[in-house]
Amino acid sequence: MKDITKLTVAQALSGLKKKEFSATELTEAYIDNIEQNTKVNAFVTKSFEIAKQQASEADKRYASGNSLPLDGIPLGIKDLFCTKNIRTTACSKILGEFIPPYESTVTNNLLQDGAVFLGKLNMDEFAMGGSNETSCFGPVVNPWSKDKDLVPGGSSGGSAAAVSAHLCAASTGTDTGGSIREPAAFCGCTGIKPTYGRCSRYGIIAFASSLDQAGPIAQDVRDCAVLLKSMAGFDAKDSTSYDTPVPDYESFLEQDINGMVVGIPKEYRLDGMNKEIVAYWDKAAEILKSGGAKVKEISLPHTKYALAAYYVLAPAEASSNLARYDGIRFGNRKNGNSLDELYINTRTEGFGNEVKRRIMIGTYVLSAGYYDAYYLKAQKVRRLIHDDFMNAFKECDVILTPTSPITAFPIGDEKMLQNPINMYLNDVFTVSVNLAGLPALSLPIGLSAEGLPYGMQIIGKPFDEQTIFKAAYKLEQDTGFERI
């Protein structure tokens, strides 16, 4: 029998329906993979017993002919999603052995559709990082690593690596500045960050509330469409979720892209940009053109301010969102002789350096006397970036850009570690999308000379994920990217 863990979600669903294998068999196959491939370090909490239980229930439903949309599909869940009765840590020491008594809306939606949860996936601590190196559980190793161990990207590094190494059929991620798309690109996966408000944030540990969105990381475009359909939807428990029907994304995949206008933002052509990525970018545009799309240069004039604005706004919100980790009600506590000492001891020990750095930046930019110069200014830039996109979308349907200016780099890379700005620069193509609240998908476009995947990003209009899926599907079909 062929390796059923190599199947896409859509293929596995079809196999399950045809009774080619059972959900229990599929789940156990993934459990085997996870136990054999420990090097990737993708799973930080394994919930195999729960998974087997869920799989057996799925099998019962298949037997009775009442199967659910994702019945028996084994998923990995980023450790930022609160999962009822399963330890949730955000890969931070400060949460310790925290076991939520509640389920996030997104994971609940997946459970309602019959998904099986294999466990919780490694990530940068509190989703802060672009390499999965800030996790308290240690770095994730990119399955594409050759001689040196490479990072999987971040913050959803475990989510991308687990999919890439076939440790789960697909996974959930979250994206605040590129945390789904960058690791998807580095690991040769496909991931979509939907429009802000498309997925509920209820039960997802907050990093930067106005930017955070959940989305799937999967092997291909179709799987992303299938999973997003299940994850998305209005939720009264999240006041920023949007009350509009979720389309059947899968039904758009094979639609013609003839006449679609694809925008290429000239500001994204950075000086001294890697020639390989430029070539792939041109190739992607050609493929879309061959499908009947028109390719057009557009302008997003405030692009150069995006990173700076992002690294003011995201830490500002984070500094406030992380105040609740104080050792009083849950997670780890380190006592002191006074309340202030308890806070200082708990947070000094509980948070890693990158999280501390962002709390400090965020606290600073919100401080009296600095608020106007930093936070308020950044909010104004954010508005301008949003307006840039809205203007651009008057003349195009989707925007095509690379996902990241580079491919996966080695774990412990000197250049990245000596100056956090170098790490932040990897987000240059992704953060604008979060600032504008737009949907964007990353899919693999090809390999570098060293054999590492490059990702291409397709940005869409608000709540127009379906057009992104159409374009992405066409690109995927004609790219012929070969997964591991």
Please report the beta strands in 122-179, taking only residues with DSSP state E, as ranges in sequence order.
170-175
Residue 155 annotated in active site:
yes
Quote the CA–CA distance of 344 and 101 in Å, as a whole number. Answer: 27
From candidates 46, 198, 201, 358, binder to another protein by CB under 8 A = 201
According to the binding rule CB under 8 A, does residue 214 interact with another protein?
no
Q: Helix or strand or coil: residue 447? A: strand
380 token code pair? 């104004």
Instruction: Give the range of 19-27, 236-244, 247-255, 468-476 binding another protein by CB under 8 A.
Output: 236-244
Binding mask 370-409 for another protein (x = CB under 8 A): -x---x----------------------------------
Q: What is the DSSP letter of 397?
A: S
Binders of another protein among residues 93 to 122 (CB under 8 A) are 95, 98, 100-102, 104
Among 50, 295, 308, 366, binds another protein (CB under 8 A): 366
**Does residue number 425 form part of the binding site for another protein (CB under 8 A)?**
no
CA distance 131 to 140: 8
User: In the stretch 339-358, what mask flags binding to another protein with x, by CB under 8 A?
Assistant: xx--x---------------
Are 469 and 221 in contact by the 8 Å Cβ rule? The answer is yes
Least distance (Å) between residue 421 CB and another protein: 24
Q: Which residues contact 261 (CB under 8 A, 6 or more apart)?
A: 293, 294, 295, 296, 395, 396, 397, 398
Output the smallest distance, CB 238 to another protein, in A: 5
- Give the number of residues in contact with another protein, rule: CB under 8 A: 44
Smallest distance, Å, CB 60 to another protein? 31
Q: Which of residues 321-340 bind another protein (CB under 8 A)?
A: 322-324, 326, 328-330, 339-340
- Residue type at 21 in one-letter notation: F
Asked if 210 is part of the footprint of another protein (rule: CB under 8 A), the reply reads: yes
- 123 in contact with another protein (CB under 8 A): no
Total residues belonging to the chain: 484
| Both structure tokens of 335 | 């006592």
Q: Choose between 208 and 246: whose C-beta lies nearer to another protein.
A: 208
Residue among 253, 262, 312, 316 that touches another protein (CB under 8 A) = 316
78 noted as active-site residue: yes
Which helix (H) or strand (E) segment holds residue 14: the answer is helix 9-17
What strands, in cross-sheet order, belong to the sheet with 294-298? 43-46, 116-121, 74-78, 170-175, 213-218, 190-193, 440-447, 453-460, 398-402, 261-265, 294-298
Cβ atoms of 131 and 161 closer than 8 Å? no
**Residue pointed to by tokens 């600032």:** 435
Residues that bind another protein (CB under 8 A): 81-82, 88, 90, 95, 98, 100-102, 104, 201-206, 208-210, 236-240, 316-317, 319-320, 322-324, 326, 328-330, 339-340, 343, 363, 366-368, 371, 375
